[in-house]
Structure 1
């Protein structure tokens, strides 16, 4: 292809020489001149055909509306840190990720749909329009109204705009026009450049050199012309003019080089070549020594000559924007082999973007309150040449997800604690360096130790006050009740003792009557024995009567003494037995004194007194925390005994007294007297009662 272009250039040069000679000598005939022109045109067509065939073999792709491009009028191209391709069009701002186009217009917050120029710093996009500047980051647009913006320059964290009326500085919330020179301030700024020491300003009238844009001390006009574009090449400043060729500025000296292309609007260095872009004549390519290499236009490579800009991306691919045919993509024959780069596009906390920090350069730990435990991560790798081969995975606290095409993740209802989130991408087997983001979710206030202990303390104080107040109230109300209960308990105790004293004289009276009978019968030996036993028994009874409770063993001993005494003084012989079916030692069981003796006495005096071979059986057992007692005799029965008592003048109060004692002992106490029958014949009486079991341990 280079060979054919060389022939074309030589022939075109020869044509200009011949044409000049014809114009000077006027000796050639019109017919001969026509033949030469026809031959030259025929040869040109042949050469262009060969060039076109060769160009068709280049990896060229066109993006138009058929590919989803929303506009065919593209003014400028750029690329951000992530790798997105950004296009400035007359129908808004366009973003391309290798697969699809996304358009941002005034509906999305853009200041104007007519975008002229794009510049990127990291992932922040500066958009120059016919109505001022828009700045886009991950959370939206920030707009500054102003004049038509032609170029954007960012130096040392300061951003300057070249407009139709001078240079403008971008402040925090407004655009500030700079006052330098009226020939700069009132003219159209086409391009600006900073070479590390000086600022260069290309206007539609001249080229200027300044040491500072704000209050400059050095302000020099280098040349007068319609300057359209600037480029640094080593220590040389290359400037393009609209129709006066290239200008090389070195040490304030200007050197001019003529080029064939007219209406030049931009110069770009691509693949160590210089691309001279014309707004209606295509692109003229020069080599490193500024020798002609080829033309790129509608006659060989493209389908239009209305070129607006050219741009080389980070993969060495070339993008050519046009006014009427969309964007051309020329894939590099020597692509840069590098591993993919991933970055965070956005981080949202409960669906609200983090707009106060630089999410891709945040080295600290983001602290979030307990209720902000829903966080979303959006990350992206842009690889224009391999957009269909991209895969992603993420890691949260050492738990890694599988590879997938999904480039976002929602983490909801996270528990309190420290988290490290990282994301990674890969193209084929080549993996990117992971990116990390650290964040911490605070513990809810109601789970914090100080809150818990404070709550416990306050609750304890309140509870103490409530209890104290309640106690004070019930103390006041219960003083009378306490006094009344004490009085009732005292009366019950007195009544209990009175009942015991009421029963004891009755027992003594009966025993003395028995001794009297022995004395009358002249049985002196038995009388002495009986008196001795009676003295022992009486001593024990008197001792027990002073006690509210005695052991069951003591009660059984007293019963044995009493029954044996009755056996001696009673004219009718009888037998007795005492059975203890207990799971507790009788020494440890407590009962009121003289509780059983009245029933035994009643059996002896009224039950078996008229029966031969009388028998009395006394048994003790424990059931359901109750002490059960049974006194069974084989006497005449309770009904006949009552009939005999009616005839006798003696009125026994033992049973009545004992029933009252049992009733006073406990509400659970039970008492019953049952006649025993065998074939409808009375065979005896059973006295049964139970009292609450009480022990001395």
Structure 2
């Protein structure tokens, strides 16, 4: 009886014979309602809607249909490459544009700068609760009275540019060639850190919460806690056994810090280590992924729309993917299957995979 139960559990756990690679992931493209197959990023708002950012508009997905917002609905441009969902139900959209704002209750709100004809380029935008810190290479803006107002400006080519921080203890930090120096509201130095390895590489950065700021490049990520004034350094090799990853970034999604890049997505725990890692197959050519509130994984590509990996399929062990398999047989307590043009394969219980048998 125990042997029969074990055999049944083995069959259930591997679930391989009727599956192919395509059946693990649901692919959504222009054929399904997306305005473009070029997707920059995906996020989820407080109501659970999935938002997809493309070069032809920003898309809201309710689980059944796609609704696209473009210049016809009030966007200043259709090329939307960033978004932040805030707790108050707004989805702030980001792009190089003369007007930026948010979408709420399917209405688009767009705001220009207090300075005439200014073009925003918010590459390092941060978020503190419901407030967006619009951070371009030289300027930082916040929205006041329906206008974007400059709160910090650096001169082009300045040796030690300043970065605006919204925190009760920290006002800004200064970036030198290999280090940062942190100041309070009285312009008194609080502390400093050497981050030469990060600063000398191509990286992304931004404020995640009222107390956290991050830097990330292809191999490392740093988290600075403004409340404790401690810098936490991590690398992908130690965390997830990946030497490097392209397009890496850290996002605040559903009150979680999620880190993603080519080939993976994970959640940062309270000590800023990567947990709940989901590895994305190389053949998907993904550059971004997120884990939603139902633990589904949404994956963005630059040429093939998006993929969804349902939570129920995340723990399924797939073997002999895309192979033509025949009948399963129990031979002397061994699970044997025929594979077209390859012979017989045996299920190896040590690593939960099939290996050649004959």
In structure 1, the residue corresponding to 2:248 is in which secondary structure?
strand
What is the correspondence of 1:164-563 to structure 2 with a 5 Å cutoff?
Answer: 164-179=137-152, 182=155, 198=170, 222=193, 223-224=195-196, 225=199, 226-229=202-205, 239-241=215-217, 243-247=218-222, 249=224, 251-253=229-231, 255=233, 257=235, 259=237, 260-267=243-250, 275-278=259-262, 282-283=263-264, 295-299=279-283, 302=284, 304-305=285-286, 307=287, 309-333=288-312
C-alpha distance in 2 between matches for 1:210 and 1:253: 12
C-alpha distance in 1 between matches for 2:173 and 2:27: 34
1:142 to 2:114 alignment: no
1:246: Cα distance to partner?
3.1
What is the correspondence of 1:626-645 to structure 2 with a 5 Å cutoff?
Answer: none
Q: Which has the higher strand share?
A: 2
Q: 2:250, 2:257 within 8 Å by CA — same for their partners in 1?
A: no
In structure 2, the residue corresponding to 1:107 is in which secondary structure?
helix
Q: Quick one: which of 137, 155, 179 aligns to 2:128?
A: 155
Residue 89 of structure 1: aligned partner: 54
Q: Deviations over 1:410-446 (max 9, x none)?
A: xxxxxxxxxxxxxxxxxxxxxxxxxxxxxxxxxxxxx
Q: Across the two proteins, how many residue pairs are aligned to each other?
A: 272
What RMSD over aligned residues (CA atoms) do the two structures have, in Å?
A: 4.8
Bigger Rg, which one: 1
C-alpha distance in 1 between matches for 2:179 and 2:172: 7
What is the correspondence of 1:640-655 to structure 2 with a 5 Å cutoff?
Answer: none
Q: 1:229, 1:265 within 8 Å by CA — same for their partners in 2?
A: no
Residue 334 of structure 2: aligned partner: none
Q: TM-score, normalised by structure 2?
A: 0.58
C-alpha distance in 1 between matches for 2:61 and 2:31: 15
C-alpha distance in 1 between matches for 2:212 and 2:101: 32
Q: Which has the higher helix share?
A: 1
1:81: Cα distance to partner?
2.6
C-alpha distance in 1 between matches for 2:57 and 2:166: 29
Gaps of 5+ in 1: 1-50, 336-697
1:99: Cα distance to partner?
0.8
Report the CA distance shift for 1:219/1:255 in structure 2 as closer, same or farther (over 3 A): same
In structure 2, the residue corresponding to 1:324 is in which secondary structure?
coil
1:332: Cα distance to partner?
1.8
C-alpha distance in 1 between matches for 2:312 and 2:164: 32
C-alpha distance in 2 between matches for 1:229 and 1:55: 39
Report the CA distance shift for 1:325/1:182 in structure 2 as closer, same or farther (over 3 A): same
Q: Deviations over 1:129-169 (max 9, x none)?
A: 11141322334422325322234434365431122333222
Q: 1:93, 1:104 within 8 Å by CA — same for their partners in 2?
A: yes
Report the CA distance shift for 1:140/1:115 in structure 2 as closer, same or farther (over 3 A): closer
Report the CA distance shift for 1:275/1:298 in structure 2 as closer, same or farther (over 3 A): same
In structure 1, the residue corresponding to 2:53 is in which secondary structure?
strand
Q: Deviations over 1:299-354 (max 9, x none)?
A: 4xx2x14x1x322222222222222221121222399xxxxxxxxxxxxxxxxxxx
Q: 1:274, 1:287 within 8 Å by CA — same for their partners in 2?
A: yes
1:114 to 2:93 alignment: no
Report the CA distance shift for 1:324/1:330 in structure 2 as closer, same or farther (over 3 A): same
1:123 to 2:89 alignment: yes
Report the CA distance shift for 1:58/1:137 in structure 2 as closer, same or farther (over 3 A): same
C-alpha distance in 1 between matches for 2:101 and 2:121: 12
Q: TM-score, normalised by structure 1?
A: 0.33
Report the CA distance shift for 1:197/1:147 in structure 2 as closer, same or farther (over 3 A): same
In structure 2, the residue corresponding to 1:333 is in which secondary structure?
helix
Q: 1:169, 1:176 within 8 Å by CA — same for their partners in 2?
A: yes
Report the CA distance shift for 1:126/1:276 in structure 2 as closer, same or farther (over 3 A): closer
Q: 1:128, 1:151 within 8 Å by CA — same for their partners in 2?
A: no
Q: 1:166, 1:187 within 8 Å by CA — same for their partners in 2?
A: no
1:124: Cα distance to partner?
2.0
Q: 1:205, 1:227 within 8 Å by CA — same for their partners in 2?
A: no
C-alpha distance in 2 between matches for 1:156 and 1:193: 13
